Amino acid sequence: MPIQLHLSLAFLLLLTACSNQPLMPGGTLPPPSMTIVAPKEPPKPNAEIMPPAPPGPANYFVWEPGHWHWTGQGFIWISGHYLEAPYQSRVWIHGGWTSNGGLSWTWTPGHWN
């Protein structure tokens, strides 16, 4: 095996070991300033049944409905899930898709306010 390939594999392993980012979208919350632009309208949201909230104080968990995520090649469905409030006084602002005059669509992620 050439030395360059060994170095590339070692570098890839180092990056993987140092990264704590999940491999699937929706595993962590993106910063509210981040936007995703899709060249076409997302499909209509899938119907979901919201399960009961996990046990805990009132308003401690917030339901984030499922949404379509643009991967750069197509849309994938991210199922709805509960989010745990970082502090009791925080309010969750849901993310959403908005049209840019029909030319593209922008996703603005949800965030705590």
Task: Assess if residue 87 is contained within a domain.
Answer: yes
Q: What angle do CA 32, 19, 54 make, to 5 degrees?
A: 55
Burial zone of 107 (CB within 10 Å; 0-12 exposed, 13-18 middle, 19+ buried): buried
Neighbours of 105 (CB within 10 A): 19
Q: What percent of the chain has pLDDT over 70?
A: 71
Residue 30: which pLDDT band, with cuts at 50, 70 and 90? low
Residue 32: is its pLDDT beyond 90? no
Segment 58-77 shows an average pLDDT of: 92
Position 29 scores a pLDDT of 57
Q: How far apart (Å, rounded) are the C-alpha atoms in residues 65 and 50? A: 8
Task: Assess if residue 39 is contained within a domain.
Answer: yes
Domain count, the chain: 1
Q: Find the helix or strand (DSSP H, E) in which 53 lies.
A: none
Supply the range of the domain harboring residue 78.
33-112
pLDDT digits (tens, 9 = 90+) for 72-96: 999 999 999 999 988 878 889 999 9
Task: Assess if residue 17 is contained within a domain.
Answer: no
| 3-state helix, strand and coil shares in percent for the chain, rounded to the nearest 5 | 15, 25, 60
Task: Assess if residue 8 is contained within a domain.
Answer: no
- Whether the model clears a pTM of 0.85, i.e. scores above it, the answer is no
Q: Do 92 and 76 form a contact (C-beta atoms < 8 A)?
A: no
